[in-house]
């Protein structure tokens, strides 16, 4: 059997344990599985989303919040429309290329960006956002660290880090109640804050710093550089994957953790550099799908279309999807009723939501995204059209092969196989015609003579399948020419 190997396009196409072309399939333990399609559920925002969150109230229900460059909205659970809940400082002015940063501080949802004052909402009883009290500085990033609200990349001071007073997100008088700041001489600008109960990790452009909270004394925190030679190039690419661990995009590729363990070298780094538009590499964005254990990185290609590159952190494997989405997020499903389905689709035949979908039960947290027309959707739909390709393999030792048939080792009922042949290593590759399986046996019949054979399996949109492992060809040896 020729396996559908891990997606590692930096490798040679002759390596049987690597594949240079897999699209819209995700890694599973025994090969590859389907990538669910994005199902839009909301009405459209009036502008591109620059941040979205689901926040849990104390009664166990969720509120769905989204923000644009000028306003903040809440989604209705009845007709999935968006109501403006902006504060008195609106319309906001998020800088071009920037996004909202958010953190939950107790029952307060706090949002910030460099273009105006930080905003807050009591998620239990609040009806609209307001300016955060205490006149905190404008900042690009916010996080909760123990009992402090932390701000990083302060307007006019990109290397500055600041804590509020202890237990009070609205107290910003320096020197009192633990409110303090630090300007970092090394590492350049702050790119990300990952907060925890006892401290945080600051990602700089060229370094990583550990923040440790102190118990009393003259300082509320201490700092320690934990990696002086590795940092984050794309600030929005940092994806938490566990306590104290994360993956990110640096100037020379993809890495894991503060130690800078390479995860993309000799696998996807060079391919990514060639596919992505170099002008927008610092805008690469990452977001975790914790249910499938995949960190998705979105980039803009040289054609102008966006794509997704995924890293499965438990299986240590990569995948690729051609979804062109705008904003990604983890969102509580709204719970679509029968009336809600009628509100979303023109007729029942158009409703492509599986009946066991999490969309039909509200409150389930799922990986979500906004479409290019600004509608919130969930990756809970039917499987996307997928394409899986094997390596170029010499099936007969020291000779050509004549392939008579091939069987897909997969539980997929609907697909085609295409034989891709070449007469020598480094020679031109020729693609045959797609061949469907014979209904009675599931075998695809070929008459293909070549030195090297690869097989491409194409699975149509909406096909019900779970696993695709590889191709089992039947071939007989031929001569050397």
Please state the three-class secondary structure of the chain as a single string: CEECCCECCCCCCCCCCCECCEECEEEECCEEEECECCEEEEEECCCCCCCEEEEECCCCCEEEEEECCCCEEEECCCCCCEEECCCCCCCCCCCCCCCCEEEEECCEEEEEECCEEEEEEECCCCCCCEECCCCCCCEEEEEEECCEEEEEEECCEEEEEEECECCECCCCCCCCCCCEEEECCCCCCEEEEEECCCEEEEEECCCEEEEEECCCCCCCEEEEEEECCCCCCCHHHCEEEECCEEEEEECCEEEECCCCEECCCCCCHHHHHHHECHHHHHHCEEEEECCCCEEEEEEEECCCCEEEEEEECCCCEEEEECCCCCCEEEEECCCCCHHHHHHHCCCHHHCCCCCCCHHHCCCCEEEEEECCCCEEEECCCCECCEEEECCCECCECCECEEEEEEEEEECCCCCEEEEEEECCCCCCCEECCCECCCCCCCEEEEEEEECEEEEEEEECCCCCCCCEEEEEEEEEECCCC
Q: Per the structure block, which two tokens stand in for 427?
A: 């020679």
Residue percentage of the chain with pLDDT more than 90: 81
> What's residue 67's pLDDT?
98
Which of these, 140, 138, 131, 227, lies nearest to 187 by C-alpha position? 227
Q: Higher model confidence: residue 129 or residue 356?
A: 129
Residue 17 has pLDDT above 50, yes or no: yes
State how far the Cα of 427 lies from the Cα of 402, in Å rounded to an integer: 18
Q: Calculate Rg over the CA atoms of the chain.
A: 25
Task: Reply yes or no on domain 2-26+385-477 having CATH 2.40.50.
Answer: no
State how far the Cα of 287 lies from the Cα of 33, in Å rounded to an integer: 20
Question: What number is the average pLDDT over the span 374-393?
Answer: 94
Residue 348 has pLDDT above 50, yes or no: no
CATH superfamily entry for domain 47-253 = YVTN repeat-like/Quinoprotein amine dehydrogenase (2.130.10.10)
Place of tokens 């099936």: 395
Residue 37 has pLDDT above 80, yes or no: yes
> What's residue 237's pLDDT?
94
**Cβ proximity of 284 and 237 under 8 Å:** yes
The boundaries of every CATH 2.130.10.10 domain in the chain are 47-253
> What's residue 168's pLDDT?
96
The boundaries of every CATH 2.60.120 domain in the chain are 2-26+385-477
The mean predicted confidence, pLDDT, of the chain is 91
Question: What number is the average pLDDT over the span 382-393?
Answer: 96
Lowest-pLDDT choice from 243-252, 325-334, 379-388? 325-334
Q: Which residues of 140-179 are buried (b: 16+ CB within 10 A; e: fewer)?
A: bbbbbbbbbbbbbbbbebbbbbbbbbbebbbbbeeeebbb
pLDDT in tens, 299-319: 999 988 899 999 999 999 999
Question: What number is the average pLDDT over the span 282-310?
Answer: 92
How many CA atoms within 13 Å lie on the side-chain side of 160? 13
Q: Higher model confidence: residue 329 or residue 9?
A: 9
**Cβ proximity of 296 and 323 under 8 Å:** no
State how far the Cα of 74 lies from the Cα of 81, in Å rounded to an integer: 8
**Cβ proximity of 101 and 142 under 8 Å:** yes
Q: Is the dihedral of CA 311, 314, 317, 323 positive or negative?
A: negative
The band of 347, judged by pLDDT with boundaries at 50, 70 and 90, is: low
**Cβ proximity of 370 and 327 under 8 Å:** yes
> What's residue 475's pLDDT?
93
The band of 344, judged by pLDDT with boundaries at 50, 70 and 90, is: low
89: left (phi over 0), alpha (psi -120 to 50) or beta: alpha
Which of these, 131, 223, 137, lies nearest to 173 by C-alpha position? 137
Q: Per the structure block, which two tokens stand in for 165?
A: 């007073």
Residue 370 has pLDDT above 60, yes or no: yes
């Amino acid at each position: 059997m020729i396996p559908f190997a891990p997606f590692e396009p930096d490798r040679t196409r002759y390596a049987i344990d690597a594949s240079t072309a897999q699209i819209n399939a995700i890694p599973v333990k025994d090969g590859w599985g389907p990538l669910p399609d994005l199902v839009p559920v909301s009405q459209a925002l009036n502008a591109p989303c620059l941040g979205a969150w689901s926040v849990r109230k104390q009664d166990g229900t969720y509120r769905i919040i989204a923000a644009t460059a000028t306003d903040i909205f809440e989604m209705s659970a009845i007709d999935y429309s968006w109501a403006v809940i902006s504060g008195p400082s609106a319309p906001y002015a998020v800088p071009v290329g920037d996004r909202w940063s958010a953190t939950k501080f107790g029952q307060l949802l706090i949002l910030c960006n460099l273009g105006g004052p930080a905003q807050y909402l009591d998620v239990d009883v609040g009806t609209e956002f307001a300016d955060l009290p205490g006149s905190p500085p404008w900042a690009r990033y916010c996080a909760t660290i123990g009992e402090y609200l932390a701000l990083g990349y302060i307007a006019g001071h990109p290397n500055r880090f600041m804590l509020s007073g202890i237990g009070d997100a609205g107290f910003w008088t320096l020197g009192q109640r633990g409110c303090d700041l630090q300007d970092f001489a090394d590492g350049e600008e702050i790119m990300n804050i990952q907060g925890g109960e006892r401290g945080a990790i600051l990602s700089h452009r060229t370094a990583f710093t550990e923040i440790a909270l102190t118990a009393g004394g003259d300082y509320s925190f201490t700092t320690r550089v934990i990696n002086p030679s590795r940092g984050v190039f794309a600030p929005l690419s940092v994806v938490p994957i566990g306590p104290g661990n994360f993956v990110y995009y640096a100037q020379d590729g993809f890495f894991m953790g503060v130690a800078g363990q390479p995860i993309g070298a000799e696998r996807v780094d060079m391919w990514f550099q060639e596919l992505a538009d170099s002008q927008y590499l610092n805008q690469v964005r990452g977001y975790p799908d914790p249910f499938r254990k995949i960190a998705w990185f979105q980039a803009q290609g040289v054609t102008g279309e966006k794509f997704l590159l995924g890293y499965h952190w438990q299986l240590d494997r990569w995948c690729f999807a051609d979804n062109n989405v705008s904003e990604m997020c983890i969102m509580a499903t709204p719970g679509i009723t029968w009336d809600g389905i009628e509100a979303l689709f023109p007729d029942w035949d158009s409703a492509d939501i599986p009946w066991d979908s999490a969309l039909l039960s509200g409150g389930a947290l799922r990986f979500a995204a906004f479409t290019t027309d600004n509608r919130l959707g969930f990756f809970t739909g039917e499987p996307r059209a997928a394409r899986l390709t094997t390596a170029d393999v010499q099936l007969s030792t020291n000779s050509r092969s004549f392939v008579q048939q091939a069987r897909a080792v997969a539980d997929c009922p609907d697909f085609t196989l295409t034989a891709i042949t070449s007469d020598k290593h480094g020679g031109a590759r020729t693609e045959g015609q797609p061949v469907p399986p014979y209904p009675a046996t599931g075998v695809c019949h070929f008459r293909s003579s070549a030195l090297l054979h690869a097989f491409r399996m194409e699975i149509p949109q909406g096909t019900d399948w779970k696993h695709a492992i590889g191709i089992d060809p039947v071939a007989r040896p031929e001569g050397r020419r």
